A and B are shown apart, each in its own frame.
Chain A
Amino acid sequence: MSRARVKRGWIALAAVMAVSLGALALHAANPAPPLPVGVAAPPPVNAPPPANVKIVFTINPSNKKAMVFWGKKRLGIIAPHAPLVVQRPRDSGPLDVVVKSDGYLTVQTRAYTFADSKVAVKLTQVDQKNTLLGYREELPPDGGAPSNPDGGI
């Protein structure tokens, strides 16, 4: 990692901490007013769920790199041991994606936007495709005819 990148990381961390401390200070300065004695607390208001959902894409084996496509668009890269995190509007319909990795069969899968979710995609090496459901035994060149055909009649 370059020194510049390390420096940028520390600056970002410091900024996050400053904002957090600020928020805490603000909360301390403006505490919620105490409830009057004998008055029941109002029922908790059901906060609406966040507008976006978070979808975390990972692959197995996790030490490989893969690209994730959504139609024409490349959503991003799953790096070795680093998932791809995508945000989508909640309830905006499913995300039909394609996961591509060198040496492995392309995988078409789907992520949903009902809630935060994880999509762990198992990759299969090209030469292991006979382990998958739907693999068809190759037909012999003669189309399955017996090797000792009957003679003419």
Chain B
Amino acid sequence: MRGSFLRVTAAVSLAAALGCRQSAQLHGEGAPANHAGEPGTAAPSGPSTPGTTAAPPKPRGPVSEAEALRPRPELPPERRALVVVGAAPAQNDQPARPGEERWIDADLAEAAGYTLIDFSDDWTPYIFAEQTGPDGEPLSNRYRRIFVGLANDELDEDGEPLPPGAKNYLELYGIFPSMSVLRARFVNDEEHPCHDQESADALDAVETVTYVPPNELKKDERKLAKFRKELEEARRKAHAATLEDLVAKQPNLAPKLKLLEKRAAEKPAMAAVEKRLTCEGLLNTPKGAKHQEGIYDDAMRLAVRRFQQKHMIYEANFLRRKTVEALSRTLLDNDYDAFVRALRERVVDAAQILEDGSASKTRNLVDEYLKLAVDQLGLPDAASVLAFFKRHGGKDDLKGLRVAVKLPARPDYYGPEMDLSIVVDRGDVWYDLPFDAQGHYKPQTRKKYPSLTLYTKAGGKQVALARWRTTIGGWRADQAPNGYEYFRYKGSDVGPRVIRHVVSGPVWIAPASTPIRSLVKGKLVNSKWMSVVNYDELGPGYLSAYGLVAGYFVVPGQNGRADFDNGVRAHGSSDYLSIYSPAGYSHGCHRLPNHLAIRLYSFMLHHRHVKVAGDQPMGFTRQFLWKNTVYEMRIPSRGYLYEMDPPVPVNVLEGNIMGDVKKPILDYVPEPWNKYPPGPPPAAPTNGDKAGGGGCCGE
């Protein structure tokens, strides 16, 4: 009995295993079709949803405009789309025309050349869409549920329910709020504007607010008092009526007066910031850190960080220019910007485009199409979007909403099998140590920063579609086998590679050399604050070392050999400062902001032949010791795998080698401020590639 049970179990397992190995195939544009401005190509606008009723046959051949725009209010939500007829932006002193909303047949609209933009709350970018296998079986993506939950303020990063009223502000990390979340924001902010003219004037009077660390406040006050005294004495001596008169006579004193004036203007600005952040529910919250008025303390820093996350501001957590600008705007204006950002990602996804103007000489299709969508939907400002959300505020109204817009045809180089390739230019590269023997930092200026460019071939020429700032590796802390951290050069490999695998919701398997301190974090677990494995870093998730999606760089194996993988990827990242700051480096990988990485790989999957392998289960566990407790990481899946077939070629250019050291140092280098056991550092592991370091990111 037992034997037969085992045999049956084994057979079932084998069948399941074979099933797992099968893969769906998406052939370029044959997969999800919603092609901008190309009529007569009606097809499902997204992956099929298991369990839904069979859709009626798709219309064949071109459909006339009149036929497509015939009102069909009786259609069920999954078969209809909203179109706005007659909307027009303000032009030549003529006010904007809102147009007339109409429900139409979604399939006919597509057949007539409309693009359907998904406004539904369970929208995800293409990389997280549900796919089906060759037999029609769903190949579910386990991170999709969390992505949707995060976008809807329903789940936290672990997939656990968010406390009532809590918000995820994750645009900076590539997860844009759902339309329902935006709707709630608009409606709430109309009732509680958090904006007054006095505060706006105070903020308009400054460009930034100087950061003074709380422990240096008194010293700073003494310095300002000294300047005041010096200026006053100089004014008396010079018999000047005012300080301005004094500066006119003695221009060398201008910087001191300017500083005093700046700091004086910053006081009311700081008060306005406090008022605004408190009103927005980001500062002085019941459970938040305690804030001391007028001081840029930790509570203020965290509130500013949340504000920046809410408004997708790529700045350090201080009151810098963009942050102050956003603080001075009305809430509804900021909400409108958030709506436009969310709409932009949906337009990009629906039209399957990438060109955002970042590569010179290439059209900015993203902004072009976005503007057309805004104009055609009659949503040119906050008031119109608020009105739209009020019209579509029913319980289920936004759940399956799709809107139809007419976009111009994409450039001729678009096709079902685009000849795509990637070039990573490492820019200015320094191999020298960034500090001297005493541990003093040695600046390593870079004029040319690393970039990642996606090309396509058109008419025998390479056309750059998008070029974005990225990272290369540099000197990083690395944990040696003796448990101590040393510096080690974690370079980015040079030369031709390919991307064969693209993984959405990837998991980073931290190499053994990862500093242990980064693998543990504090977390509230069932009402108790405790230390746990830092799964934020491992993923899947927006904070993962690999971000929300990664493409794996490999050297293709020859003669039946496996690919050589040195651990370098081009991936999304939440660490935007490492991408945009002058001293930012990675461990060798090429980081992109999550939303750009999502666009890049969604685009590649749309326009190349792809096999969908789906979820990649694994049973990885690893234990490590930290402060006398064993932490065990358990990773059930590597992520959701797409296989590019054929792979996309990549070339990594060496860049300009700066400084005195012309080749990467491969050994461990002791950190001057650290204490080590006697003797030389342990030998650093070799990773088999001498082109420039490599071994950036683990497995």
A binding-site residues for B, Cβ under 8 Å: 46, 70-73, 91-94, 96, 98, 105-112, 114, 117, 119, 121-122, 124, 129, 132-137, 139-140, 143-144, 146-147
Query: When the two chains form their complex, are residues B623 and A133 in contact, meaning their CB atoms are under 8 A apart?
Result: yes
In Å, the complex CA distance between A119 and B623 comes to 13
Query: When the two chains form their complex, are residues B630 and A132 in contact, meaning their CB atoms are under 8 A apart?
Result: yes
Q: How far is the CB of A51 from chain B (nearest CB, A)?
A: 15
Return the contact of A108 from the options B50, B482, B532 (Cβ within 8 A): B532
Residues from chain A with a CB closer than 8 A to the CB of B528 are: 71-72
In Å, the complex CA distance between A139 and B677 comes to 5
Return the contact of B159 from the options A93, A111, A132, A136 (Cβ within 8 A): A93
Given A107-B632, A129-B625, A133-B625, the answer on whether A114 and B142 have CB atoms closer than 8 Å is yes
B678 at the interface (CB under 8 A from A): yes
B487 at the interface (CB under 8 A from A): no
Q: How far is the CB of B640 from chain A (nearest CB, A)?
A: 13
Q: How far is the CB of A117 from chain B (nearest CB, A)?
A: 8
Residues from chain A with a CB closer than 8 A to the CB of B624 are: 132-134
Query: When the two chains form their complex, are residues B629 and A107 in contact, meaning their CB atoms are under 8 A apart?
Result: yes
Query: When the two chains form their complex, are residues B636 and A112 in contact, meaning their CB atoms are under 8 A apart?
Result: yes
Return the contact of A144 from the options B516, B622, B676 (Cβ within 8 A): B676
Among B395-403, B443-451, B519-527, the stretch in contact with A: B519-527
In Å, the complex CA distance between A110 and B524 comes to 14
Query: When the two chains form their complex, are residues A71 and B525 in contact, meaning their CB atoms are under 8 A apart?
Result: yes
Closest A-B pairs by Cβ, 7 of them: A71-B526, A93-B160, A136-B483, A71-B528, A109-B632, A132-B625, A71-B525
Q: How far is the CB of B658 from chain A (nearest CB, A)?
A: 33
Query: When the two chains form their complex, are residues A134 and B516 in contact, meaning their CB atoms are under 8 A apart?
Result: yes
- Closest residue to A147 on the B side, CB-wise? B678
Query: When the two chains form their complex, are residues B531 and A139 in contact, meaning their CB atoms are under 8 A apart?
Result: no
Query: When the two chains form their complex, are residues B676 and A136 in contact, meaning their CB atoms are under 8 A apart?
Result: no
Residues from chain B with a CB closer than 8 A to the CB of A108 are: 530-533, 629-632
Indicate the size class of the contact surface on chain B: 35 or more
Give the one of B50, B145, B525 with max A CB within 10 A: B525
In Å, the complex CA distance between A122 and B623 comes to 9
B628 at the interface (CB under 8 A from A): yes
Query: When the two chains form their complex, are residues A70 and B526 in contact, meaning their CB atoms are under 8 A apart?
Result: yes
- Closest residue to A129 on the B side, CB-wise? B625
In Å, the complex CA distance between A111 and B532 comes to 12
A-B contact pairs, 11 of them (CB 8 A): A46-B50, A71-B526, A72-B526, A93-B155, A94-B158, A108-B631, A129-B628, A134-B625, A135-B625, A139-B675, A144-B677
In Å, the complex CA distance between A132 and B527 comes to 30
- Closest residue to A92 on the B side, CB-wise? B160
In Å, the complex CA distance between A96 and B532 comes to 7
Residues from chain B with a CB closer than 8 A to the CB of A105 are: 625, 628-630
In Å, the complex CA distance between A144 and B531 comes to 30
Q: How far is the CB of A121 from chain B (nearest CB, A)?
A: 7
Given A96-B532, A109-B632, A112-B636, the answer on whether A133 and B622 have CB atoms closer than 8 Å is yes
